[in-house]
Amino acid sequence: MSDNALLEYNRRYLKHDYFTDVITFSYSSDGALCGDVLMSYDRIKANAVSFDTSVQDELRRVMVHGLLHLLGQTDNRASEKLAMRANEDRSLQEYARLGRNPVKLKSTTPHPR
């Protein structure tokens, strides 16, 4: 979806008035994983330029980020952001290990979301 479309979700449901790359709504309960992961392709493309990575690699990272939220991981505090980034890196490395398109990891510094 577009930046403006995701901004409307951010305003309406999270009361945040800023662009973001991903929003996750979890409906999981009793061990069943369920939810929606909404992504802004506009923001993903802009982030790829800002972080000197490909759009495909940034899209993969944002997808993993959203899925980690769906699994219950939070990233509100600095320590949680570091843990989130480490889990993103591990997930992307495993994806590459399985023979998929390799992901070029820049660093383990927190991704500013």
**CATH number of the domain within which 12 lies:** 3.40.390.30
Nearest to 37 by CA among 5, 4, 65, 14: 65
Domain count, the chain: 1
Q: What pLDDT sits at residue 48? A: 95
pLDDT digits (tens, 9 = 90+) for 21-44: 999 999 988 888 899 999 999 999
* CB neighbour class for 108 (10 Å; exposed up to 12, middle 13-18, buried from 19): exposed
The two structure tokens encoding residue 85 = 């980034």
What is the pTM assigned to this prediction?
Answer: 0.82
Phi and psi (nearest 5°) for 24? -120, 130
Could you tell me which residues are beta bridge partners of residue 65?
none
92 located within any domain: yes
Domain region containing 20: 3-97
107 located within any domain: no
10 located within any domain: yes
112 located within any domain: no
**Cα dihedral 15, 20, 22, 23 in deg (nearest 10):** 0
Q: What pLDDT sits at residue 103? A: 58
